[in-house]
Structure 1
């Protein structure tokens, strides 16, 4: 869906109609009693580290990662702080970590390089201990900027697309959007290669379970004729309830346990990560969550399918610090059938994903009983979110 609610589902095992972080307010915090996968794994004897974007509680709130199971954190607490590629500072747990050469108008130290190196250092220091590393880079994302060594190879090879212009003036504009985006993707490739090389160096690569995924679907706007095919031809994109907004790859690597080069058609989502990680670690997942362990599917065994999967993205009113009193944009999948409310209070649409992967044929008029039943299930799958508490932002002007 979008950054913060997706990450909240990943961390808590609750779907986006139950987790209390429902939108990209970004500073709205987890409460002290809300447990995360890091809490579960830390209790099971793992050292835990997060390097990158958090999004579940800003500084001076109850939601910071070091209050929710992470021993170490370096990165961005608020999702909008993470829009800066060259910020003046990151957070190193509760302290500001100032980045060399990034005071105005400098742009010397790339934030993701810092976060990635700290993640590698975490692995080195924990090579003899069980560890959980949540490596949450912030690229590719707008602001679309990357160091020259990553961008230069794509000039003249990748179309520029439309110029990226930030109307608020917070983020730096980019005339060469296509090469910059390609460069950000390549930099991620290099980060992954460095991590894999380090794991091999310390003989950890055969005994480490690695997941690689994204928090939401891709974007198409501004790119020349959808040059990067970010949604693989699916309808919609980030912020929508169509498959292009919610379906993402999940790559898993675990030599000797997960068969190499295999694909699975099992449908699962972010709430399943917490119980899966708990089962792998021999720990117990919290009661009352929406996720189920998909370890059987990973191991190539019989896996029970979800009865239903649910997503939503309600609208937030910053003036009242509350969500609008309306039926939110939402979707539910049951088997191959999917019901979508594309806009708040809109009539639902119905699709059979087995026959219509691109969601081009709305079946609601042809199958009114199914549409009506699934709409009732859609509306009953959620709880009302709590009021959000957005604190002041000491980093709001932390651009370079």
Structure 2
């Protein structure tokens, strides 16, 4: 009897051990909203408080040439979630912030959530959506098992109302149903929801799309952080307080992983969706593009070259930097390779960065696959191509300072030699202009 009991215990332990070995890593995709190119300590800012964002770089790999999929919210999110250039994914510009309004990621597109769900993951959207405000385009219809957040471009972080276009309207939804949490600080609501989801699903693989409403306007940093930064020049003080409030909640999210001993079993990605805002609603600035020209809405580097970090302790290098080009569309194939899940059977524009992550000397997958951006459609569309060191922009503007706001029909720069894009080389290199224009037309023109 003891022998059989011992065998039963052995097979029980073996089954548990096998399951643990086969359990796929969890994935948390943290997306900041309007965070500037260098607005974290690990990217060089010495006037902000970002210890938890920085910890991801300490425990992971930080890209110095990481690009978002667009310089504005909705296309950027569509590209990151589908692995496809946003215009190809059906989101050429911002989607409506009004229920039933126009513009959305088509339901036919396959999202990262659908990819993970097909592989047995439990999936959650927490935070901002802004890529569809109809029942068939909201998160539950795009691969998410659970959703809590706002469907439009932004909300007041206490009332959860959208105040910036038309009549003021409430925008907070749980699983497609409107809910009311008036007075509850939205960054804290997000952190609480994420922690509860992790607690509930910690024994099986999960995917969380943690899309923050920060540091997008309205700047609503907490009182303690406003006091902490009171001697910082306006509007940087407001922005810095909001960033610190954001960072504190990221710390709470990471603490939940640590409490459940999940940090080494969880891949965490961090990026910003586009450059910092210089809109009047954002006090005309507050963020920082560092050495790069431009900000939100601009195809100059400051609009699209942003923080991009991936952390998976014990599995990927830690505390390392990669200078190779990387793009938000790369996350889907990169995560598929790291987790061993099947990629969707569709054309992807992103390329896996796994070789680069594991070896700092590996060639960028974009050495042979140029990067493309486009916002809008038709002749007036803003677009850019980067092939090697050369980058060509069409129909963009410098949004970093209200006084600059110059429009450029075409702008050519060698990013290796001139990362600040100070000199337009179109007249000196018409052959390169023609070549990059042709690349754009072959890739994205109808």
Q: Place the TM-score, normalised by the shorter chain, in its bin.
A: 0.7 to 0.9
2:395 counterpart residue number: 342
CA distance in 1, matches of 2:127, 2:313: 26
Structure 1 position 23, deviation (Å): 1.0
Equivalent in 153, 158, 178 of residue 96 of structure 1: 178
1:122-154 deviation digits (Å, cap 9, x = unpaired): 111111111111111101111122332332322
CA distance in 2, matches of 1:348, 1:123: 48
Relative to structure 1, is the Cα distance of residues 225 and 142 closer, same or farther in structure 2, using a 3 angstrom cutoff?
A: closer
Match runs of 1:217-256 below 5 Å: 217-220=275-278, 228=287, 230-256=288-314
SS in 1 for 2:123: strand
2:381 counterpart residue number: 328
Equivalent in 215, 234, 244 of residue 160 of structure 1: 234
Residue 65 (structure 1) aligned with residue 139 (structure 2):
yes
Retained in 2: the 8 A contact 1:38–1:70?
yes
SS in 2 for 1:182: helix
Residue 371 (structure 1) aligned with residue 433 (structure 2):
yes
1:392 counterpart residue number: none
1:128 counterpart residue number: 203
Gaps of 5+ in 1: 103-107, 162-177, 315-322, 385-400
CA distance in 1, matches of 2:121, 2:272: 24
Residue 295 (structure 1) aligned with residue 389 (structure 2):
no
CA distance in 2, matches of 1:89, 1:16: 25
Relative to structure 1, is the Cα distance of residues 234 and 373 closer, same or farther in structure 2, using a 3 angstrom cutoff?
A: same
Match runs of 1:170-189 below 5 Å: 178-189=236-247
Retained in 1: the 8 A contact 2:222–2:245?
no
Structure 1 position 226, deviation (Å): 6.8
Relative to structure 1, is the Cα distance of residues 260 and 84 closer, same or farther in structure 2, using a 3 angstrom cutoff?
A: same
Residue 305 (structure 1) aligned with residue 380 (structure 2):
no
SS in 1 for 2:323: coil
1:261-314 deviation digits (Å, cap 9, x = unpaired): 110012111111111122222122222111111122222263442120011112
Structure 1 position 383, deviation (Å): 4.4
Retained in 1: the 8 A contact 2:117–2:143?
yes
2:105 counterpart residue number: 30
Bigger proportion of residues as strand:
2
Structure 1 position 84, deviation (Å): 2.3
Structure 1 position 225, deviation (Å): 11
CA distance in 2, matches of 1:299, 1:148: 42
Structure 1 position 83, deviation (Å): 3.4
1:396 counterpart residue number: none
1:347-378 deviation digits (Å, cap 9, x = unpaired): 42211111111111211111111111111222
Residue 361 (structure 1) aligned with residue 423 (structure 2):
yes
Retained in 2: the 8 A contact 1:85–1:146?
no
Gaps of 5+ in 2: 1-70, 161-169, 398-406
What CA RMSD, in Å, does the superposition of the two structures yield over aligned residues?
Answer: 2.2
2:128 counterpart residue number: 53
Relative to structure 1, is the Cα distance of residues 63 and 225 closer, same or farther in structure 2, using a 3 angstrom cutoff?
A: closer
Retained in 1: the 8 A contact 2:214–2:246?
yes
**TM-score scaled by structure 1?**
0.81
1:172 counterpart residue number: none
SS in 1 for 2:172: strand
Structure number with the bigger relative contact order (C-alpha 8 A, sep ≥ 6) is: 2
CA distance in 2, matches of 1:259, 1:279: 16
CA distance in 2, matches of 1:231, 1:244: 5
1:175 counterpart residue number: none
CA distance in 2, matches of 1:19, 1:232: 31
SS in 2 for 1:258: coil
SS in 2 for 1:200: helix
Bigger proportion of residues as helix:
2
Retained in 1: the 8 A contact 2:95–2:104?
no
1:146-172 deviation digits (Å, cap 9, x = unpaired): 3323323222x11224xxxxxxxxxxx
Retained in 1: the 8 A contact 2:352–2:365?
no
